Structure 1
Amino acid sequence: MQSSVIVLAGGTSRRFGADKTSQPFGTSTVLGHLVDSVPRGWPVVVVGVPTPLPREVVWTRETPPGGGPLAAMTAGFSLVTTDLAVVVAGDMPFGGRVCQLLADELDAEPDVDAVAARRGAAHSNPLLAAYRVAAARLALPADCTNLPARLLLTALRHLELLVDDDAALGVDTPEALAQARRRLRA
């Protein structure tokens, strides 16, 4: 079953101190590397301020701008035309490589609404997860402003899929970005 990808790239990057998705990463940026690693042929919706990217995407913004990840997910889901969508935080440069795994796992489980990535002992991650679009749209609250993204997972029947540390690595701090760059070079 074909899937779409919703990339959340509209955050304030408070802990980073600058726009973390626009930081240089390999031959591109953090966001560019992520978007380029999404499965070919999948429609990509990016929620954030438009910037040059290595492939064609549809841009949108959450309402209100800066309204948090759940508001961004709502904006993204409103533009998706496939039955499944994988949500990936824009600061996860290696997240694209598990999109197909998450979508395949969800497609194989017809009684489940979502499959969320989990690394190690961490909780399941609603910002690296595959969702049945119809179920997600129904479960989203009318006003999502500044609500945690985890609310969507708690409202849906979901499974967890264990992923490697790199796939779920978010570059929330300059130190995490340096770690991701080392892993990219390795």
Structure 2
Amino acid sequence: MATTPGPATTALITCGGTSRRLGGRDKTREPLGASTVLDHLLAALPAGWPVLCVGEERATCRPVSWAREDPPGGGPVAALAAGLRQVSTPTCVVVAGDMPFAGAAATDLAAALARSPEDDAVVGTDRDGRVQPLLAAYRTEALRTALPDDPAGARLMAVLDRLRRTTLELPDPGTLDVDTPEALARARHIVGA
């Protein structure tokens, strides 16, 4: 009897931080149209992907699993370490939870990694060439191996430096992160709110 293979990719969403530039508020909970920044992202991710959010648990528009970084607020590398403990798929697409329009980019990154068997990661860049390690597709085991023993407060770029990687330029507004009042206003303008 044939079995149906499970999904190949998990979406790992970091949503545990606050933003000093946004008054210390949780960016992912900010209203965006009829939902929130996080829900806008979650709704745009492929329906067949399991989703794991790292942060304070809350109600979302689709079923997700939750993990919490140690310590809470310990930074993106601590969030990756906490999330990767629950990822069982061969690849994961990491997306910052404050990137409400990154759903299509996540799909493009996963497809690019599938076409690049020699790479551990395909990392998104914005149109100015800035590398976005929290908008990238990773081979799960390679990312686990690249993490430091003590991930709290570790530099994310140091993790990236331990991986064989290529980049993929992503179109606007896929790389828009809502970390300032101006960026939040732009996101609201995009959705007509």
Q: Report the TM-score, using the length of structure 2 for normalisation.
A: 0.93
Distance 1:12 1:134 in 2: 28
Matches within 5 A, 1:78-93: 78-93=85-100
Partner residue in 2 for 1:2: 8
Letter in 2 for 1:56: P
Matches within 5 A, 1:1-186: 2-17=8-23, 18-185=25-192
Unaligned runs of at least 5 residues, structure 2: 1-6
Equivalent-residue separation in structure 2 for 1:179 and 1:11 (angstroms):
21
Residues 126 and 152 in structure 1, CA contact (< 8 A), matched pair in contact too: no
Q: CA RMSD in A?
A: 1.2
How big is the shift at 1:140?
A: 0.6
How far is 1:135 from its partner?
0.5
Distance 2:47 2:141 in 1: 23
CA contact (8 A) 2:148 2:154 kept: no
- The answer as to whether partners of 2:10 and 2:93 remain within 8 angstroms in 1 is yes
Q: How far is the alpha carbon of 1:55 from its aligned partner? A: 0.4
- 1:79 deviation in Å? 0.7
Give secondary structure in 2 for the equivalent of 1:64. coil
The answer to whether the Cα contact below 8 Å between 2:125 and 2:132 also exists between their aligned partners in 1 is yes
Q: 1:76 Cα deviation (Å)?
A: 1.1
CA contact (8 A) 2:11 2:52 kept: yes
Amino acid at match of 1:157: R
Distance 1:8 1:151 in 2: 18
Q: One-letter code of the match for 2:131? A: S
Q: Name the CA distance, whole Å, in 2 between partners of 1:178 and 1:98.
A: 21
Task: Give the Cα separation in 2 of the matches to 1:68 and 1:183.
Answer: 29
Q: Tell me, in whole angstroms, the C-alpha distance in 1 between the residues paired with 2:22 and 2:157.
A: 22
Q: Aligned letter for 2:16?
A: G
- Between the two proteins, the alignment pairs up a number of residues equal to 186
Identify unmatched segments of 5+ residues in structure 1.
Answer: none
Equivalent-residue separation in structure 2 for 1:26 and 1:2 (angstroms):
31
**Structure 1 ranges of 4+ moved more than 3 A:** none
Identity of aligned residues (%): 48
Normalising by structure 1, report the TM-score.
0.96
In structure 2, distance between residues paired with 1:109 and 1:97: 19
